[in-house]
């Protein structure tokens, strides 16, 4: 009986840790190589990061806000209420330029400016690993927010916002690759 009470009193915690890495590659031929490898990763979901050729410029570590809209999708999946896998898959990552403090009630970025497919997604035990890739030719600018979306399309603000970062100062120019490594950890507390 004590064991049951102990297990009931535990709760589930979901934590998102992000590492944004900014890499330079000014050689156009090597940029094409990197873009080719990233394209393969987006299509196959195989992590080939070790084949990319560029030099690290800076790194930014962050923890995110997990949004209720994304958690709702996760709860439905656990209850068997989703009709297909896409309804519970983080399938887009987005950059934005809006200002404000992220909250668990947010359903979109404040001002979304660019989104694409993650380059790799993996899981191991209670961890989910994914990487978002933003190439030199895709987008450039100063980005103040980042989000991951479930069941989204290429259209801005589509899908269910799962994780959100704000108050960023991510500056990316036309010779910079931005790779955002994401680790979601499900744990009991």
Give the residue-averaged pLDDT of 135-152. Answer: 96
What pLDDT band is residue 75 in, cutting at 50, 70 and 90? confident
What pLDDT band is residue 80 in, cutting at 50, 70 and 90? confident
Q: What is the mean pLDDT of the chain?
A: 90
Q: What is the pLDDT of residues 3-36, one digit of tens each?
A: 444 445 567 788 899 999 999 999 999 999 999 9
Sheet holding 90-96, edge to edge: 65-66, 160-165, 145-150, 90-96, 112-116
Give the residue-averaged pLDDT of 93-100. Answer: 97
CA neighbor of 107 nearest in space, from 62, 65, 167: 65
Domain boundaries, the chain: 17-188
- Rounded Cα–Cα distance for residues 91 and 40 (Å): 16
The answer for residues whose C-beta is within 8 angstroms of residue 155's C-beta and 6 or more apart is: none
pLDDT at position 81? 82
Give the residue-averaged pLDDT of 87-97. Answer: 92
Give the residue-averaged pLDDT of 51-80. Answer: 90
CA neighbor of 112 nearest in space, from 93, 134, 89, 84: 93
Give the residue-averaged pLDDT of 50-65. Answer: 94
């Amino acid at each position: 009986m004590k064991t049951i009470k102990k297990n009931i009193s535990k709760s589930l915690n979901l934590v998102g840790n992000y590492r944004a890495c900014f890499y330079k590659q000014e050689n156009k031929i090597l940029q094409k190589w990197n873009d080719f490898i990233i394209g393969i990763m987006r299509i196959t979901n195989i992590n080939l990061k070790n084949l990319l050729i560029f030099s690290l410029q800076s790194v930014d570590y962050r923890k995110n806000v997990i949004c209720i809209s994304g958690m709702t999708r996760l709860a439905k999946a656990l209850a068997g209420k989703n009709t297909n896998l896409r309804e519970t898959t983080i399938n887009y990552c987005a950059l934005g330029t809006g200002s404000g403090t992220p909250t668990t009630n947010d359903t979109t970025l404040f001002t979304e400016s660019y989104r694409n497919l993650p380059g790799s997604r993996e899981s191991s035990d209670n961890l989910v690993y994914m990487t978002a890739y933003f190439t030199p030719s895709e987008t450039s600018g100063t980005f103040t927010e980042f989000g991951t979306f479930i069941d989204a399309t290429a259209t801005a603000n589509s899908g269910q916002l799962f994780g959100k970062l704000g108050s960023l100062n991510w500056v990316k120019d036309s010779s910079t690759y931005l790779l955002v490594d994401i680790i979601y950890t499900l744990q009991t507390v």
